[in-house]
Structure 1
Amino acid sequence: MLLAQESFEGAAALFGQALAMGGCAPAAHLGLVHSLIRLDRRAEALEACRQAVATLPSHPQLALVLAQLLHTDGDWAGAEAAYRASAQVVGDDLAAEGRALFGLSHVLAKRGEMQEALDVAREAVLRLPGLQPAMDWLALLEQRLRAEPMPA
């Protein structure tokens, strides 16, 4: 309710209090992280997300949010590890795995690992059928790889 009313300071305080009292519900962690992001307190959001993943390591959405924060901050190695971890904890949720693989593909491309980025993007598209951004990304990677000169 507080998030819907855009009282992010109040929401962050309440989520923080709930967690301090021993609550570890994923929704409380996510609420705190998203409130801190909306308040442009990224360093605190990142730390809160790291703590949440340490507390609930098998929660796919927390792992994905951590990966996205690291990705946005340009921490390619951290984002790669977090996306890989996120893809491993999704269980049967193919869409969640696809989102993690989609992000991982972007990070791999940023790191210059184009062939692996392409392979991972193909896997993402299989799990996200019909998602235009994923299909566009795959097409762009294929085009880039075709344009690269072949090693001698």
Structure 2
Amino acid sequence: MSLESTVNNYLKDVLGIKSILLTQPVKESSSLQKAALVFIAPGELTPKEEHLLKKMALASPLQPVEILKVDEHLGRNEIEKRLNAFQAETALIFGEKLFHVIKGKESNFFAFINQSFSFAGVCVYASHELNDMCRGPNVNLLKKQVWAQMKQISKT
């Protein structure tokens, strides 16, 4: 399975993103171990949200996964600078507030939800609020994938 299809399957099946429009192609020469994914999340997370992010990071086919917690008041430039520090190719941003900081207040969050756009040279996917995802139907699928990955790790 190609890296691009692995990423697409993860985004669709695990995270529930319906439509994927890659603004930048995933580099086939990259191995899964070298690829990086950054979760851009609100700075204040509940324990449930933090736990879900960690599960999602573990289940991701792109490793290592970094969690960038940012406050919406930092502004677009500061978020861009922090994201650039990771030198990632792909990022997932959680929530409408952070989306508007990055994409602009005039942008329609619901038009971009489940789609990708380019920010700071990174292919960014917008996603629903983490608190909504804690109650969503994809949580059970996520748990199964994390469990399967943990079993695989324990065999090596």
Q: Larger relative CO (CA 8 A, sep 6+): 1 or 2? A: 2
Q: Tell me which protein shows more helix as a share of its residues.
A: 1
Q: Which has the larger radius of gyration?
A: 1
Give yes or no for TM over 0.5. Answer: no
